[in-house]
Structure 1
Amino acid sequence: MANDLVRSAVQSMSGLGSSSGTASPWDTPLATPHESPATTPGGSPIVRDSDGKRLPKMSDIKMILSDVDGTLFTDAHELHPATTDAIRYIRKNHPDVPFIPVTGKQLSSCRDLIKELDLADMPAGCMHGAIIYDHKHQIEQQMYLDPHFVRDVARLMRKHNKSTFLYVEEWNAMVTKEENGTKDWEQVARGFDPAVRDERETDFMQRVLKGKERIYKIFLPMDEEVVPQFLELIEKSFPDVAFKTTRALPYIIEIVAEGVDKSAALAYFCAKFNVKAENVITFGDGENDVGMFEAAGYSVAMANGMKKPKRVATHQTSSNDDGGVGKFLNKIFRPEMSDEPDARLSVDHLKQLDQQLAANSPLAAGAYP
């Protein structure tokens, strides 16, 4: 059954024979982790982040990929002014550097962001890369879940009194709702993707089973302390089904088709723009960003992020509520805007200065005992 599902998902991808001739990310070897030039002696000018790590030179960055919720968006689901200003500056002054949102969100929930950041001519990876859109926001390819698996997950959640949201392309259906929970999970879901419809008493699931509605992502919000047991329950309940669980936030389990990952989206966009993965910088805060972080030359975890992406990332910036993405990009593209000193000196030159300082110091000259 697992092989059939994978085959079904792969066959469902669209755009493989598009006139653009662009290879699918599922046909493109994934970029592999490597030592970033930003952490290699002699690789970069010495501009440092808050952890004291060297930053890449502006010329090292050929493409920027960013998560949205918890990264570009503040906790209020708004763009921070510092982030907006930095990205609009890059779009205006460095139009050859693609800036691409790669998010768990639907494209419909990113339209205001796309407009505000001047990204209307950019492609996008949505629902963790389950759908890849071209620069005209037409679907280039897609991977969706087996409909019977979707139904069975919803049944399992209903049995355990948990909420279930099923994502089609432009909206999402609430098919089960937790009763007497600690939070109104419907309102939580609307905070991330507002187009929620209550489909508990409709024929929605029948349309899914008949193939009239494609489900790209299952969204399961719940109290954080029970997440580990439900991750285990889902894995044990469907041992023969090919799927992947991930988390953008600690209290939300998300399920996508096997093979869906932000690293696949990164590989796709690298092929599309003829950019090497080592020249890509990525931003994110969730476990769903880890694959993208491992594949990119430079990866930046938000201060508000989960533990795993922080461990994997080559760099860290301040929180989403502090405009961390914008502040980090300014250090690379507009160092004069940074609050920290700009030390754009090569490693060899810094060593030479250190040697001169040591030779000319009062201590070296014997002025002190």
Structure 2
Amino acid sequence: MTTIPFKAVAVDMDGTFLTEKKTFDHQLFGKILKKLQANNIPFISATGNQLIRSHEYFQEFTEGIDYVSENGAILEADGKVIKRTALDYDIAQKLLHFIQTEYPEAIIMVSAEHHCYILKSMDKATKDDIRIYYRKVEEIDKFTDIDPSDAILKVCLTADDELATIIQDRFNEKYGDYVRGTSSGNMTIDLVHKGIDKAKGVADMLKYYGIEQKDLIAFGDGENDIGMLEACGYSYAMENANAKTKAVAKYEAPSNDENGVLKVLAKYLDIE
């Protein structure tokens, strides 16, 4: 049997692990997961998605999957949340007011630990679109109606990617160095606590298991995967990845629609 060269697996979800129809080969993944578990190799879903949304994709697999969700704002290992980095409630409210005042054209969602909050005034088509990607969506009259006990993990808005850095810099200049803006692709921006990103979340998960970055195999397709790919020992960009992501990866995997992640892992694990 071939020696497995890595000790942990991290995969981006949309555009990487999942096909464009948001599916994957469950039978093949089941075989791969069983082999990973037999060799004590953690499988990490690393995504900007809600934790509850991430759970849905793997609901038939009851154990063996860890989660770096909300682009690193919440981490779950062995079925337990091991780290949560929320925005301070008052800072989040200042950020929301700033965006609504300075960028009224932006479509805003607030992703908290237990709910996604949107305004009742949002048009129905946009609400329906949000519900495709988010679960436990709560419609509120104004963002100050958000329950302070529901930890705000990120503020999401639909706007030009370049606006992420502009909002980050303008807000931090006015209120202090609190938030970090990142593009999640498809004209979506995530604003999270400073110092939080997918790469940091994966690094924290590896520390939890006592695994070094050089022993990680990771897969991604977008710019928010670059940090994770740069840090790991075995980095794969998908065939469908953008040019910047391909430039930093050591290897290329078949496209997401070909279940490229699973094909690469199956080869390493000697699975037919």
DSSP 3-state at the match of 1:170: coil
Q: Please say if 1:128 is aligned against 2:71.
A: yes
Distance 2:128 2:177 in 1: 30
Residues 1:300 and 2:242 are matched in the alignment: no
Question: Match for residue 365 of structure 1?
Answer: none
Given the superposition, is the C-alpha separation of residues 311 and 281 from structure 1 closer, same or farther in structure 2, using an over 3 Å criterion?
A: same
Task: Please tell me the residue identity of whatever aligns with 2:138.
Answer: R
Q: Does residue 171 of structure 1 match 2:115?
A: yes
Change (3 A) 1:227 1:98: closer
The question of whether the paired residues in 2 share the 8 Å contact of 1:80 and 1:322 is answered with: no
Q: How does 1:94-105 map to 2 (within 5 A)?
A: 94-95=36-37, 96-105=40-49
Q: Displacement of 1:205 after TM fit?
A: 1.8
Matched residue, 2:169: 235
Where do 1:125-164 residues align within 5 Å? Answer: 125-136=68-79, 138-159=80-101, 160-164=104-108
Task: State whether structure 2 residue 135 is matched by structure 1 residue 194.
Answer: yes
Which residue of 1 is the match for residue 59 of structure 2? Answer: 115
Go from structure 1 to structure 2 and tell me whether the alpha carbon gap of 1:249 and 1:276 turns closer, same or farther (over 3 Å shift). same
- The verdict on how the C-alpha distance between 1:306 and 1:175 changes in structure 2, with shifts beyond 3 A counting, is farther
Match of 1:71 in 2: 16
> 2:65, 2:77 within 8 Å by CA — same for their partners in 1?
yes
The CA deviation string for residues 99-155 of structure 1, in whole angstroms up to 9 with x for no partner, is 111211122112232223x2524332111121111312x222211112233223323
Q: Is the CA contact (8 Å cut-off) linking 1:154 and 1:175 kept in structure 2?
A: no
Instruction: Tell me how large the CA RMSD over aligned residues is.
Output: 2.5
- Cα 1:186–1:235 change in 2 (3 A) is farther
CA 1:333–1:245: 2 relative to 1, 3 Å: same
- In 2, the alpha carbon distance for the partners of 1:167 and 1:253 equals 12
Cα shift readout 1:309-358 (whole Å, capped 9, x = no counterpart):
222111222222221211222232237x4xxxxxxxxxxxxxxxxxxxxx
CA change 1:115–1:260 in 2 (3 A) is same
Residue-pair matches, total: 265
CA contact (8 A) 1:114 1:120 kept: no
CA contact (8 A) 1:163 1:175 kept: no
Determine whether 1:217 maps to 2:158.
Answer: no
Alignment partner of 2:202: what SS? helix
Identity of aligned residues (%): 25
How far, CA to CA, are the matches of 2:36 and 2:92 in structure 1?
43
Q: How does 1:262-273 map to 2 (within 5 A)?
A: 262-273=198-209
Aligned match for 1:322, one of 258, 264, 270: 258
Inter-partner Cα distance in structure 2 for 1:296 and 1:230: 26
- Return 5+ residue gaps in structure 2 as ranges: none
Q: Does 1:259 align with 2:195?
A: yes
Cα distance in 2 for residues equivalent to 1:177 and 1:321: 36
In the TM superposition, residue 164 of structure 1 has moved relative to its aligned partner by 0.7
CA–CA distance in structure 1, aligned partners of residues 185 and 88 of structure 2: 24
Q: Partner residue of 1:9?
A: none
- From the two aligned structures, give the one with the greater strand fraction: 2
1:11-62 Cα deviation digits (max 9, x unpaired): xxxxxxxxxxxxxxxxxxxxxxxxxxxxxxxxxxxxxxxxxxxxxx752121
Displacement of 1:308: 2.6
Work out which of the two has the higher radius of gyration on C-alpha atoms and give 1 or 2: 1
CA 1:63–1:167: 2 relative to 1, 3 Å: same
Does the CA-based 8 Å contact 1:243-1:258 persist in structure 2?
yes
Question: Counterpart in 1 of 2:32?
Answer: 90
- Paired AA for residue 24 in structure 2: H
Distance change in 2, residues 1:125/1:313 (3 Å): same
Q: Hey, what's the Cα distance between the residues in 2 that align with 1:230 and 1:270?
A: 28
The residue type paired with residue 141 of structure 1 is: K
Segments of 5+ residues of structure 1 without an aligned counterpart are 1-56, 338-369
Q: C-alpha distance in 2, partners of 1:255/1:176?
A: 22
State the SS of the aligned residue for 1:247. Answer: strand
Aligned to 1:35: none
